Structure 1
Amino acid sequence: MSFSVPSDLSGGLYFLNGVRTTVKTSTSFDVMEPRIGAVVAKCPIADKSIVDQAVQLAATVQPDWGDLTALERGKILRKAAEIIRANLEDIARWEVKTNGKSIYEARMDIESSADCFDFYGGVAPAVLQGDQIDLPGGPRQRFAYTRREPLGVVGCIGVWNYPFLTCIWKVAPALAAGNAVIFKPSPFAPASPVLLGEILTAAGVPHGVYGVVQGEAETGNFMSVHPLIRKLSFTGSVGGGMALQRQAAAENVKPVTLELGGKSGLIIFDDCDVKSAVAGAVLANFLNQGQVCSNASRVFVQRGILNDFTSALLKECDRKLKIGDPFDEETRVGANINEPHLKKILEFIESAKKE
């Protein structure tokens, strides 16, 4: 099956039974294009019945996917990597429209996404084969063995700052291990995981093994308590992760993997190489418009070099960080994800001026 990046969102923002589609529900959210600050679509919010439909289908087809050898699944994932690389520029431009980051950064994200599929497609046969353990004692030779089996259906809830890449971080290992996946993107950047679905279908993933449902917190709640979802992976806020873990434990004690917001500090001492420290501070604070959970939200500089460091930092920012249209090849700081986020940043700037 061939693959090409669509020109717009008219084909729908759901991915069910191997095809991009839409659904009818009573509620929806606005889909924004950060680059232009405009609503480009309305996306229906998945209710309980739609989540259940996607999960039931995934549970039905997962055993056949899980029965493939790890080598066979790995070949399909590496085929997905080939498709991504063959369409890298178009996918990167899609990511710019979805997220607002510069085309310069988007290309790196997409290349890394292909690498992720290559890695898990290659490593799966080695790590999934299990072990044999010889047991001492007794008149006969005895041994035990471990067998690694898929969990079944895995529920994944994604984030908006790296929509394509972080989706693949969750999906690639889950598929490599023989699981089916239901993915819920962030409503701030809902389109890229749907694009991934079309790539996976073109690579040979059976229909229904990967599905995308859309929504906000309530849709995630439906996933967290669904009895056929055997594991959850969540990237997002601390509060959201805590709520998800409580719900998962209250219903059926399923395992939960959480990657939550960070509060990283960067400490710079007076014996540092100032040039290297400045370069590190720029990277740690302004990558992806500063919208990275591991970015340095606080920078502590030893007083003796504060003036020199600050002066050098401002010069480096002025030299390297061109603000502009994300599609401009020279741009390094593109659009923030939405207007409320931009207003929050401006409030911090005004607060710093007053201090």
Structure 2
Amino acid sequence: MTTSRLEIAYRRLLRCYPPRWRHDHEDELIATLLDLADATGRTRPSPADIADLVVHGLATRLGVSLGLVPVVVRQRTAILALSSLAVLSAGLFVVAEVVPKPLPAYAGNPPGAGLTFGPFVTLGAAIYPLPVAALVAASAGARRTARVLLGLTCIAVCAAVLVAAWTDIARPPLYLLAVLFLQAGMASAGMPTALRRRDLFTAAALFCLFLAAAGTYSLSLVHSNGYVYYNNPFAAYRGPDGLVDSIQRILPATVLVGVAAATVISLRRPGWAVAVFVVGAAWSLMPIAESIRYYPWGSANDVVSGGFLLAAVPVVLAAVMDLSRAASPHGLGSAPVRQGSAPPSNDPDQG
């Protein structure tokens, strides 16, 4: 390979970097790489060079992409994601893992039938305490500990999928695990340095209210239909009128109401409508995935498709308008600075 071909190879690797970065630094870096290659007698990029350029290039590109989203939007999304993740995990731990009883032995089931993970129903019991602990750590100001616990949540979700595939131990539905993973990632990525406890506790209280409404709705359906399996294993996860099924039914209306309320709040504190939209979209993966998986499009049982299609237009419009306000020069933290005054902050504590 000639020197010119080596330069072409390096320039191809540098395409991992964003265009603006390449415009400012590409020629300088290429010259340095070619000098190092001449000094060592190399005629092609080394594996170390390839890994270094690809990893750092993608990281730089990701940093540029994150920079397009106002800091306050990322922080408020993290607050909602953390609170919703912790509340959902706590609810599922109790309703789907602790409350269910073994299948009755008189039906020919062995003792403990239906409990596949010790005294618990699924591997979810090993995942759910982590987000709850992260919420406690964040509320206590231990931001680093909270991020570590959220990272462990992502690892535990992936491990649960693998363990369930290799053993007879059951796991929660895959679409539910995907929602947990996404919320943990969003909460970790945007967690503010100084977390406003009032926002965190308010969000957690609202999600508790939502989960309580879903649980009450589920119990009312079970009672009216005369079902007796509500405390049996997997009923909360996969049973009709179970907790997860009830969450999916009321989710479209809840997201619509939540975005409407956040839009009003965002007139003075931009960013909340976008945060509700993003977190609501993550939750919406559950009913959308189940609808695609089990029901033909447009069937009578496909409650989700119509609800989300009706809610999509106003919700997206409100989120876009809120994002433009948060990113505008007159948005939060962007007011002109008077001489002798402190610079504005994008921290939601200051909003």
User: Could you tell me the TM-score, scaled by structure 1's length?
Assistant: 0.25
Higher strand share: 1
Higher helix share: 2
